[in-house]
Amino acid sequence: MSKFSNMKQKCPEGWQKFESSWYFLSTVKKPWRESRQDCLERGADLVIVNSDMEQEFLFGLTKRAWIGLTDSVTEGTWKWVDGTPLTTPSYWHKLQLENDGDTPANRKEDCVELNTETWRPGKAWNDLSCSDNHYWICEKVV
């Protein structure tokens, strides 16, 4: 009996389950790196979006929030927090792709938020300065 007791882990308080992951949406705002550190301390990391269904789920959380995508190592080379390259940039808002690199005062926009306030789910990614304060979404694969 105990062999099967771990099969159905309960989602911790404050987390939501979707498919094979748990998600935590913060209630305070922090810069991207501090947000990631909070996720790591929770045994998770900033969310990596792997499918249209996951993108729709995250969009349903209805907060502008950091996700685990950055080009802070090499400008223009977007990578997820696990080191994998972004291979499907289909969730970028069109204006973000057109404005990339054209920011005032060389403001580096190296971190990505999910913008649920003004854009559609399929085009909701926005690159911003990593020092901006936003909510964030942690993901823990279970």
CATH number for the domain that contains residue 136 = 3.10.100.10
Burial 8-43 (b: 16+ CB within 10 A, else e): eeeeeeebeebeebbbbbbeebbbbeebbebbeeee
Q: Which two tokens stand for residue 77?
A: 């080379």
Arithmetic mean of pLDDT over the chain: 86
Per the domain annotation, does 95 fall within a domain? no
Indicate if the pLDDT at residue 62 is higher than 80: yes
Per the domain annotation, does 12 fall within a domain? no
Per the domain annotation, does 10 fall within a domain? no
pTM equals 0.86
Q: Are 126 and 93 in contact (CB under 8 A)?
A: yes
Indicate if the pLDDT at residue 6 is higher than 60: no
Q: In angstroms, rounded to a whole number, what is the distance separating the alpha carbons of residues 102 and 8?
A: 48
Indicate if the pLDDT at residue 102 is higher than 60: no
Per the domain annotation, does 55 fall within a domain? yes
Per the domain annotation, does 65 fall within a domain? yes
pLDDT of 93 reads: 83
Q: Which domain holds residue 29?
A: 18-85+106-141
Q: Does residue 67 or residue 123 have the better pLDDT?
A: 67
**Number of domains present in the structure of the chain:** 1
Per the domain annotation, does 13 fall within a domain? no
Span 119-142, pLDDT tens digits: 787 889 999 999 999 999 999 999
Q: Can you tell me the mean pLDDT for 58-71? A: 94
Per the domain annotation, does 79 fall within a domain? yes
Residue 25 is which amino acid? Answer: L
